[in-house]
Chains A and B, each alone.
Chain A
Amino acid sequence: MTNMTIQHHLTDDLLLGYAAGTLPEAFGLVVATHLSLCDECRARSEAFDAVGGSLLGALETADLAEDSLQATLRRIAAGPPTERPRRSRGLFPAPLQDYVGGDLAAVRWRPVGMGVRQSILRTDRGATARLLYIPAGAAVPDHSHRGRELTLVLQGAFRDEDGRFGPGDIEIADEAVQHTPTAEEGLPCICLAATDAPLRFRSLIPRLAQPFFRI
């Protein structure tokens, strides 16, 4: 599946980090999910892969173990890893389904207040990935960031100070952004978000609740 109406894309530094394999896993998940929806960014991403290929091709060689080829042929003879084709027909692209364990119906939501729900996905510790469910017309509490936040829309749309974000669009917010995303009327807005540092809420109640909900 791919979406022709995507307006907000990945930045070069995220694509380079993804190609180099240095992004935290949670960011990698958001990038891989966006790439499944956006051929424009996928082409850019594969161009960054090509840089890695060129560098690898030009490397000085390392000495192999004496029986290296034979050992590899034994690995081959042991059989291929079992892998199913990964193409999604649901709402969530395949990489996201891998982390959720299924499509939308498999998500285990927890309420975070004002009708907003979230579900934390298990990734390594460099950053946190979560699914967000924002009822149509509702707002996510006003917050700013210590680090970076990536928000990818999967269903519905939201608006904030930076514009409108619909399915496939990705918002990249850094420390300078103080924003109040509000879901459009219509479908509930479902997003995949990743942060590499805790958010900072401006009002007291969400701030007190934060340690419990890991927002």
Chain B
Amino acid sequence: MLTDALTLDFADASAPLPAYSGRVRAAPRRARPIPTAPTSETKPTVQPATDDIDWSAVLLQVRDTRDSAAFAALFRHFAPRVKAFLMKSGADATLAEECAQDVMATLWHKAHLYDPARASVATWIFTIARNRRIDALRRARRPEPEDLTWGPDHEPDQADVLAQRQDSARLGAALTQLPPKQRELIEQAYFGDRTHTEIAAATGLPLGTIKSRIRLALDRLRHELK
């Protein structure tokens, strides 16, 4: 079981966090055990097969039970990518490390705001990292739209959560299949901090479906909030 694997490898992280309670809600249907590497190891020789992990379920464990082992697993997967993102955007290694730690700490603190029907964990982390980048590199504020968060009793529909996962997977596949030049343009738009009117079309990406799905989730949320 996923949580069994998670508890094993957190023993060495000595931190004043609530102990792992062992209680899991809505256990993920299928998830490979997360490889148990020591936390100080930054570059495992064999890349773990993390593609199939349902990161939404792992993050919900952090949200619901403040599960520090689940957090450690998220950290090992995403923190090195957040750092890479910040370095691609022009931060030096020291600043990128500091910001990456900050982004992951924000993930813990704001876990209750995560809505698995609207965004993948990667997308959610991207938005936190992007905002941190604007703050750190441009020294500008990031105006954000009003919060639309779930009420205390609400759980998103499992079908919506699954649909979001499928959409995200399709988008990822579509991105890897783009002609290299086009993919490069899109990467520059997101990582290169330059203007990009001509890239806006993002042709060939299944953004319409994703948009409709998010729209539906927003409609339901608005309804909930009334």
CB pair B145 A20 closer than 8 Å: no
Q: Within 8 Å CB of A67, what residues of B?
A: 40
CB pair B119 A46 closer than 8 Å: yes
CB pair B125 A22 closer than 8 Å: no
B194 CB to closest chain A CB, in angstroms? 7
For the complex, is A61 an interface residue (Cβ under 8 Å from B)?
yes
For the complex, is B127 an interface residue (Cβ under 8 Å from A)?
yes
* Known interface pairs A16-B196, A50-B123, A75-B105; A85-B147 also in contact (CB < 8 Å): yes
* Known interface pairs A63-B42, A70-B13; A52-B143 also in contact (CB < 8 Å): no
CB pair A54 B79 closer than 8 Å: no
CB pair B145 A72 closer than 8 Å: no
A76-107 CB contact bits vs B (8 Å, 1 = yes)?
Answer: 11001100011110000111001100000000
Q: Tally of A-B residue pairs with Cβ under 8 A?
A: 236
CB pair A56 B85 closer than 8 Å: yes
For the complex, is A164 an interface residue (Cβ under 8 Å from B)?
no
CB pair A22 B172 closer than 8 Å: no
Q: Binding site of B, secondary structure by majority: helix, strand, loop or mixed?
A: helix
CB pair A57 B81 closer than 8 Å: yes
B151 CB to closest chain A CB, in angstroms? 12
A44-64 CB contact bits vs B (8 Å, 1 = yes)?
Answer: 111111111111111111111
* Known interface pairs A21-B131, A55-B187; A69-B13 also in contact (CB < 8 Å): yes
Q: Within 8 Å CB of A154, what residues of B?
A: none
Cα A123 to Cα B88 with chains together (Å): 26
Cα A18 to Cα B173 with chains together (Å): 24
Choice from B14, B80, B88 contacting A63 with Cβ under 8 Å: B80
CB pair B15 A73 closer than 8 Å: yes
Q: Within 8 Å CB of A61, what residues of B?
A: 43, 80-81, 83-84
Cα A182 to Cα B201 with chains together (Å): 33
Cα A7 to Cα B181 with chains together (Å): 35
Instruction: Count residues of chain B with CB under 8 A from any CB of chain A.
Output: 88
* Known interface pairs A16-B199, A43-B214, A46-B118; A75-B126 also in contact (CB < 8 Å): no
CB pair B81 A56 closer than 8 Å: yes
CB pair B17 A73 closer than 8 Å: yes
A1-40 CB contact bits vs B (8 Å, 1 = yes)?
Answer: 1100000000111001101111001001101110110011
13 contacts between A and B (CB under 8 A): A22-B189, A22-B196, A25-B141, A43-B214, A44-B207, A53-B125, A56-B126, A57-B122, A66-B42, A68-B42, A68-B97, A75-B101, A94-B145
Residues on B facing A (Cβ under 8 Å): 13-17, 39-40, 42-43, 68, 72, 75-76, 79-85, 87-88, 93, 96-97, 100-102, 104-106, 108-109, 118-120, 122-127, 129-131, 133-134, 138-147, 149, 167-168, 171-172, 175-176, 186-187, 189-191, 193-197, 199-202, 205, 207, 210-212, 214-215, 218-219, 222
Residues on A facing B (Cβ under 8 Å): 1-2, 11-13, 16-17, 19-22, 25, 28-29, 31-33, 35-36, 39-40, 42-77, 80-81, 85-88, 93-95, 98-99, 123-124
Known: A21-B134, A22-B189. 13 other contacts (CB 8 A): A20-B193, A21-B133, A25-B140, A32-B145, A42-B214, A42-B218, A50-B171, A53-B125, A56-B129, A61-B81, A61-B84, A85-B149, A86-B144
